[in-house]
Amino acid sequence: MSGRAISEGTDMLAEGRTRLADSLRVGGWRASASVSEAFHAVPRHVFVGGVPAELAYKDAAIVIKSDADGLPVSASTRPALMAIMLEQLRLAAGHRVLEIGTGSGYNAALIAQIVGASGSVVTIDVEPDLVDQARARLAAAGFADVTVVCGDGADGVPSHAPYDRIIVTAGVWDLAPQWLAQLRGNGRIVAPVSVRGIQLAVAFESAGTHWVGRQACRCQFIRMTGLSAGPETVVPLGPQPGLHALVADGAAPEPCPLYEALSGPAMDVPVPPGLRVDGIAELADMDLWLALTEPRLSRLNIMGRHEGHAYPAQRPIAGRMRLGGFARYDSAGRLGVAALAVPHGLAQNDRPHGVAIHGYGPGGAALAGHLAERTAVWDGLGRPRADNLGLAAYPVGTRPKALEGRMIIRRPNTVLVAGWATPA
């Protein structure tokens, strides 16, 4: 796949592509030479047709298809996150790669650019119109030899197996056995796995009897449809079409009480004095730790229409769970909802910020107070981070040893063991 004849287009497009490729960094991480060169070479604007050039080369996700209610069906992922997952994949020239979730085709082109003429790329998507568009756009950008298949990604593409690498670009609830069966023994699979409603891009490698996940990175992908779609409950919030709450690994609150709770005033509960975070990443680490150590609480994420035209009464709701939230009914049957408050400007600078937890609904203050106490435990443990989370996937039917600090999450095909103790 070498010798691409990719048009530079206008000066503005070339400058935009160069600026994007040179800016692919998150915190202290930045793209390697091979990944950066791929972003320099592949024109994103070709794959996100109809989007102004200045938006095509921003480090932001771009929705490319929505359903009748305005909820996104497919998107071109934020480039910095794409780069992180390509780094996790550890691609090399000559690799045979399977991508689950074609979307726009941009990621498949980046992979093809890295593995070169001696490698091969197969990509599959369940949406026929997206498959047709991606095939045409790949050809237009000089990547006609990428194989684009229409089908359920949970099946993989056995006709082209085995693969050295598999990458999944949609949020999954479980690891499909077909993927693992189509991967070489020394291969690697990178997938955004939902752990209590929090998506973590994880690189899995075989450890003989099970798969060990490394380099967890928090992410946000549109959930996969088809056989690998999880059983998370989607609760409508107020007038529709509009916002929804995605409830994972817990009982779903009734829609009306949940909407009323989130529409009401927030009760601000501060965490222990002196506990401050240095940025949004550290606050997200606290949120992940709370989710994994509070299994009796339901986990909530807010989903909305990508156009940003939610009803006025719902706009405050959308901003109240930027990291997600927690819900429970107390012993008196009162609903409480709580979420970490994201301080203004936290994402723009690294100076320490104080932390608070907002409670909503009749049981919100008590729930927020409980979570505030738990943040002191997180702090005392040295602030466990997502990137040192241990995550292992065992075949269904096995009984991993339960250890303190690890949570066992049973799925139809795998048993996930997550926590900050080293997986056995």
Active-site residue set: 74
Q: Name the one residue in this structure whose structure tokens are 């996969």.
A: 224
Of 155, 192, 161, nearest in space to 75 by CA: 192
Question: What is residue 251's three-state secondary structure?
Answer: coil
Strand 211-219 and strand 390-395: pairing? Answer: antiparallel
CA distance 276 to 184: 45
DSSP 151: S
Token readout for 288 is: 């992940």
φ/ψ (deg, to 5) at 153: -60, -20
CA distance 135 to 128: 11
DSSP 224: P
Token readout for 175 is: 């690891």
Q: Is the dihedral of CA 284, 286, 287, 293 positive or negative?
A: positive
φ/ψ (deg, to 5) at 404: -60, 135
Token readout for 386 is: 């997502």
